[in-house]
Amino acid sequence: MANVAVIGAQWGDEGKGKVVDWLASRADVVVRYQGGHNAGHTLVVGNETYKLSLLPSGLVRGKLGVIGNGVVIDPEALLAEIARVQAQGLSVTPDTLRIADNAVLILPMHGALDRAREAARGERKIGTTGRGIGPAYEDKVARRAIRVCDLAEPETLDAKLDELLRHHNTLLASLGAATFDKASVLARLLELAPSILQYAEPVWERLDALRKAGKRILFEGAQAVMLDVDHGTYPYVTSSNTVAATAASGAGIGPHVVGFVLGIAKAYSTRVGSGPFPSELHDDIGALLGERGHEFGTVTGRPRRCGWFDAAMVRQAVKVSGIQGLVLTKLDVLDGLKELKICTGYRIRGEVFSHLPAAAGAQAAAEPIYEVMEGWAGSSRGARSWADLPAQAVKYVRRIEELVEAPVTLVSTSPERDDTIMVRDPFQD
């Protein structure tokens, strides 16, 4: 059996949580490998709704969850999330959750700097959640970050805080923001240390042993390809690489272990925050998609911008991330629309493009080129086989396959985990 990596093929919020939850029934372990608590997955299980930001979605299925070294971890947020899901009846113990001991920590000064910078940008803000993810990744690259393993060494922690606060307090002061006192930060970290360290280990060793034992590993990505710091709509992106290749470096395994790459895309498009969105709708249809799809950010609560399916963008995601199969979610949101449009390319300053260029000015000027399709009158909601779908809905899915140059492997037709049409089991070799 193959391993599977699940990634978003648009701008995030594609319904990865439900898909990972559904696939977890076929997996032995679920691994988060990048991002921070700016990402959110909502899982609906019967009458219970779980909102996860850092915890791997497989925990809801009772599977082992691993947070890899590519994730930046806010210890306060993690412990609060653990307490919240435990109150909902989930078991989160050192037997069910492991954290990479070389993962970087998000500290209070990271969030403060994130918010101060965003305020200073004014109208040019990039839409960050202000949770410190970007500044934490900056410290990682600059080799001044505090990692999970440092919590076990008070002297190391003390020395690292000197350098960290020298950097951050200087920046905060220049932005007119409050600075941080080393003694209070150190005391709080030492207080949190036992609660975090009980989950810590070199997870690469565990994953290697699981691989050798033939266990099935599901790699769970956060955000999406078009928010990738290299391949996305820069600078309106996240601070990490979100493509499937990151599953290897962010978990501590070889690239050959990643397995089948499964991309998730909505049957339409959404985006939270600022940045280019060529197929965005500012009319009643856009509002209808948002209302029907309950389009609000899991983490931020911000309303998502809605638009037609952008096949050119998803095709780009397929190519740069090696997506081998596509999951199409929220098909039921399109029920009853008389006419559907699919963006097949862009017109930029009179020139036609089949992809979204890297330059920010060109991205902002991109106008969608649409292909128009007939909608369907029947309902696709709750469908669990092709036979349950209206004929025109099947045509829509097939046309998307052709345009993005990837087969549709799964179709999700409601938030319920079992309302899924499986064309191919991604875990099957």
Q: Which of 37, 41, 110, 168 is catalytic?
A: 41
Q: What are phi and psi of 58, to 5 degrees?
A: -60, -20
| Rounded Cα–Cα distance for residues 399 and 342 (Å) | 9
> Exposed, middle or buried by CB within 10 Å (0-12, 13-18, 19+), for 346?
buried
Biggest CA-to-CA distance, the chain: 67
| Contact predicate 373/396, CB 8 Å | yes
β-pairing, 29-32 vs 64-67, is parallel
Q: Which structure tokens are listed for 57? A: 């979605």
Q: Which of 13, 101, 228, 419 is catalytic?
A: 13
| Rounded Cα–Cα distance for residues 180 and 313 (Å) | 42
| Rounded Cα–Cα distance for residues 249 and 70 (Å) | 7
Q: Which residue, among 323, 331, 338, 342, has the nearest Cα to 405 in the 3D structure? A: 323
Number of residues that this document lists for the chain: 429
Which are the contacts of 40, defined by CB distance < 8 A and separation ≥ 6?
17, 51, 52, 53, 297, 298, 299
Catalytic residue check, 13: yes
| Rounded Cα–Cα distance for residues 132 and 369 (Å) | 37
| Rounded Cα–Cα distance for residues 335 and 380 (Å) | 7
Catalytic residue check, 37: no
| 15: region left, alpha or beta (phi > 0 left; psi from -120 to 50 alpha) | left
Return the SS3 of 306. Answer: strand
Return the SS3 of 4. Answer: strand
| Contact predicate 227/238, CB 8 Å | yes
Catalytic residues: 13, 41
